[in-house]
Chain A
Amino acid sequence: MTAAAASANVASAARPRRRPRVRNVGPRAFLVLLILFLFAPLFVVVLFSFNATASLSFPIPGFSLRWYDKVLDDREVVAALGRSAIAAFITGIAGGAIGILAALGIQGLPPRWKGAVQTVVLIPIATPALLLGIGIAIYFNRLGIKPPRLPMAIAGHVLLALPFVLLTMTAALERFRFSLLEAARDLGASRARAFWTITFPLVLPAVLGAALLAAAVSIDEFIIAFFNTGSDGTLPLVIYSRIRRVIDPGLNALATILLVATTLLAVLAARTTTARR
């Protein structure tokens, strides 16, 4: 095909499509603006984390990785990264395990109770994190449990993660064909065998997704960690304590690291739980 023919082709293909495109200009513009509103601020932080100088204005004179070097040499940051990773890991495992059991339990309830239980599990999302944070702090204090305090924050993170885990898990379980399970039992499979050959592989991706979601909630969580971990803080706490100081370009790198960690977990979680229907 010659270039002229190709461009004529493109033109004729474009013409009939113009009308519907014009029709939805409003909605399209709205979507673009909203996505910009949601993601542009994050993009700005990422962009300036690669800035060669310390200034925070456009145009950017050049790019470098110096702020990452600086931040990763920082002991406080590395320690906080470790604590965040531990908290996320434990929240993922605990939240995923408790959540999958509870989701299976909800699945087996009579319809009348199902709705009520599904509403009750949302309560932690509808409780200000501030209340949970200070509640958990004073609770452990009254129980006479003193530092290490990271476990207190983790206890709160699991609580916050459970509603999200249950929401995604129950939605996923609704889509499964549990008739397969009955068929296997009817054909003489033992309860254990039916579980391992049918339920387990069916549920596994959703469980993984839910665990990743719980980990994402933990890594991103600030308020509960603030009231419980104190000076042995997680990554968001380090960022919070440094924000008020004079402009520190290293913060952009730090924020980007946190952002990449949460986004990665969130993307993986959203993909594993929404991918198949």
Chain B
Amino acid sequence: MTAETSVYERLGGSLAIRSVTEVFYRKVLSDDLLAPYFDDVDMDRQIAKQASFLTMALGGPNEYTGDDLRSAHAGMPDLDDKHFDGVLGHLADTLRAFGVSEADVSEVGAVADSVRNDVLNR
């Protein structure tokens, strides 16, 4: 059933992605472990990048390359798995809040997990 349309389409496309991204980003900024890394970050640029990433992770139309994911995180050598897992957790919670099924949450989580080594500079 779920193979017919992407999670992206079922959520409502690009308009919904803006709301999903905002809810997701709000969760990340509310997390004491993660928030300090965003203190000096331009919120609009960040949300644009995350919207672009989420579109990809949710199976939407995209030309996401992730080339800059490694360079964007290169200046944060103390990032480790607990930070990355924290972000994945907020992504999963966000999707659940939008009524995404557990099967789809795992699937999207697996796609997001594929950039772990880029983010953690390994």
Same complex for A and B? Answer no
Chain A residues with CB under 8 Å of chain B are: none
Chain B residues with CB under 8 Å of chain A are: none
